Amino acid sequence: MLSAMNFDLDNLASILEEMPSSRSAMVGLSGGMDSIVLLHALHQLQTEGRLGFSLRALHVNHGLQSHANNWADHCVKICSQLEISLQIENANIQTTGSATSGEASHNRGLNKIPNLENAAREARYAAFEVNLTEGEVLLLAHHRDDQVETLLFRLMRGAGTKGLSAMPRARKLGKGLLFRPLLDFDWSKLQNWAKLNKLQWVVDKSNEDTSFHRNFIRHKLLPIVEQRWPNYRDSWSKTIELSAESESLLQELAEQDFQIVESAQRTVILLEPLRSLSKPRQRNLLRYWLKQLQLPDLGWNKLQQLCNEVVAGAANSSAIVVGEGYELLCYKSCLYVLRGVSTFSYHRTYTWNMNNTAVLDLEENGSLQIANVVGKGLKLSVKPGLSVRYRSGGESCKLLGRPTKAVKKLMQEHNVEPWFRDRFPLLYFGEELVCIPAIGVAESYAALSGEQGVLVEWLRPDLNPVAKS
């Protein structure tokens, strides 16, 4: 819908028909005009028997302003009048992190108080998500003016088609779904409804503070635009719709391209077919891959670096691109996404008395465990006095029946992935390297044929990246 609609019950009911079927909907109720209008209109539809789901509301108290409790009290009053169940959640605002999810990522670092607005938003959406029941729909009151503000905000950040698509009508959220039924209505239309029905709402005075970028757009830039181009909302809404259409086509292309690069592991793709694609298609595909893994977007600069330095590099290039909670690197003609590769500390040492402990936990590096065997493994005499260290460079070992070789060479021969080579736990007896798990035992410490021995196994850590919540 490119032209603004008049806000009335019929038009709202028509839009709600697009909403996936659900037995319950939860309104995100701030106490401001937009959400009060939405709740009131939904209640009227419910009273007329035109609402096919039950209705409840959730207010998130951020506690960032002195009168925040007044907003909560107002929501209690309104819901009591309408006989709608209300839940109030007190948010725990963390202002040290950065926004990473959904629409919030587009606002990172652009506010007067670093991360405060993003932190409040993330806390609010976390409260929404945790309180949504299975299959329930969260209804939010974002309107068309919010959309065009978001478009301009993201345009100034250099957003692509996804960002310029502004806020989606619907998306998954936790166990349920988020749905925005007011995106086709201008703020003025909602205000008319509020005045006509003599609704009461609270006013957030911070929304007038133009030192915040979004408020500056709303109160300074857009009024000037409207004076020159009164119908700018229509044309900008068209841009939003075309951007969303382009993004959809890019997703379809990425799905097709992914078929030629996918491997048996979700966190690994093939380099050669990836390199056969143009750079724009590479970037599009890589964004798609990371999204499928539910990992934060790399951003334009790092995506360029990934294509130009890692993907275009040698098959076993040591180049790494670090994302938020994950890293990308190449090995044997494949591109891997892993976590914790460059942040692991190799300076830890452990003492291990195998007579007392059969399993040794290695911090952030899996564990070592032993099995009693005959005719292989380490001699029993070393069990009480082992230490475990990591490589520092220059280590060598003479394995049973083989010449002395550098540990680095032994790992290459055994096809140990580069990101595991420095993580490999090395077992020492005194100052002698006596065992490299899964590779071999030093000849002078190996159990002989028929002799009791102990076999050491390293249970490697899971380096698959953790999906964002």
For residue 218, the domain's CATH number is: 3.40.50.620
User: What's the whole-model pTM score?
Assistant: 0.78
Write the burial class of residue 236 (CB in 10 Å: 0-12 exposed, 13-18 middle, 19+ buried).
Answer: buried
Rounded CA-CA distance 132/189 in Å is: 29
Q: Are residues 330 and 353 in the same domain?
A: no
pLDDT more than 90, % of the chain: 76
In a shared domain, residues 140 and 194: yes
Residue 108 vs residues 64, 195, 313: alpha-carbon distances, Å: 19, 35, 31
> Please, what is the Cα angle at 218 between 214 and 222, to 5 degrees?
125
CATH number of the structural domain spanning residue 298? 1.20.59.20
**Based on the domain organization, do 225 and 326 belong to the same domain?**
no
Residue 113's pLDDT band, with cuts at 50, 70 and 90, is very low
* Residue 109 backbone dihedrals phi, psi, to 5 degrees: 75, 10
Q: Are 399 and 443 in contact (CB under 8 A)?
A: yes
The phi, psi pair for 174, rounded to 5°, reads 55, -130
User: 250, 242 in Cβ contact below 8 A?
Assistant: no
Residues 318-333: tens digit of each pLDDT: 788 999 999 999 998 9
Cα(464)–Cα(469) distance, rounded to whole angstroms? Answer: 15
354 belongs to a structural domain: yes
pLDDT band at 469 (very low <50, low <70, confident <90, very high): low
pLDDT tens-digit readout, 216-245: 999 999 999 999 999 999 999 999 999 999
Residue 13 belongs to a domain: yes
**Worst-scoring range by mean pLDDT, 116-120, 177-181, 253-257, 305-309?**
116-120
DSSP 8-state symbol, 21: P
Which two structure tokens, joined as six digits, stand for 274?
A: 């990836």
151 and 23 within one domain: yes
Contact 214, 108 (CB under 8 A): no
- Strand pairing partners for 24? 54
Last residue of a domain, one of 231, 251, 278: 231
Q: Is the pLDDT of residue 426 over 90?
A: yes
- AA identity, residue 94: Q
CA 263 to chain centre: 23
Closest CA to 422 of 362, 354, 335: 362
Q: Do 64 and 159 belong to one domain?
A: yes
Q: Could you give the count of Cα atoms lying within 13 Å of 286 in the half-sphere of its Cβ?
A: 32
Give the whole-angstrom CA distance, residue 446 versus residue 427: 13
Q: Are 51 and 44 in contact (CB under 8 A)?
A: no
> Of 215, 231, 247, which residue is a domain's last?
231
How is residue 379 annotated by DSSP? E
Residues 316 and 272 in one domain: yes
Task: Write down the mean pLDDT value for the chain.
Answer: 90
Instruction: Tell me how many domains the chain contains.
Output: 3
User: Is 466 part of a structural domain of the chain?
Assistant: no
Higher pLDDT: 249 or 344? It is 249
Is residue 342 left, alpha or beta, with left meaning phi > 0 and alpha meaning psi from -120 to 50?
Answer: alpha
Q: Give the residue from 144, 152, 161, 147 showing the smallest Cα distance to 3.
A: 144
Q: What is the pLDDT of residues 373-422, one digit of tens each?
A: 999 999 999 899 899 999 998 999 999 889 999 999 999 999 999 889 98
Same structural domain, 329 and 394: no
User: Has residue 106 got a pLDDT over 50?
Assistant: no
Q: What is the pLDDT of residue 346?
A: 84
Q: Which of 339, 369, 400 corresponds to the end of one domain?
A: 339
71 closest CA partner among 203, 209, 208: 203
Is 252 within a domain? no
**Would you say residue 2 lies in a domain?**
no
Does 332 lie in the same domain as 374? no
**Do the domain assignments include residue 21?**
yes
* Phi, psi (deg, nearest 5) at residue 445: -120, 10
Residue 41, in any domain of the structure: yes
Inter-residue contact 24 to 136 (CB < 8 Å): yes
In a domain, 250, yes or no: no
| Residue 433 φ/ψ, nearest 5 degrees | -75, 120
Residue 86 structural domain:
9-94+112-231
Q: How far apart are CA 247 and CA 245, in angstroms?
A: 5
With the C-alpha atoms ordered 262, 264, 267, 271, is the resulting torsion angle positive or negative? negative
Distances, alpha carbon 312 to alpha carbons 115, 328, 332, 369, in Å:
35, 13, 14, 40
Point out which residues pair with 459 in neighbouring strands. Answer: 367
- Provide CB contacts within 8 A for 55, sequence distance 6+: 24, 25, 27, 42, 43, 46, 84
Judge whether residue 111 has pLDDT over 60. Answer: no
- Cα–chain-centroid distance for residue 136? 22
Q: Are 444 and 452 in contact (CB under 8 A)?
A: no
Contact between 439 and 406 (Cβ < 8 Å): no
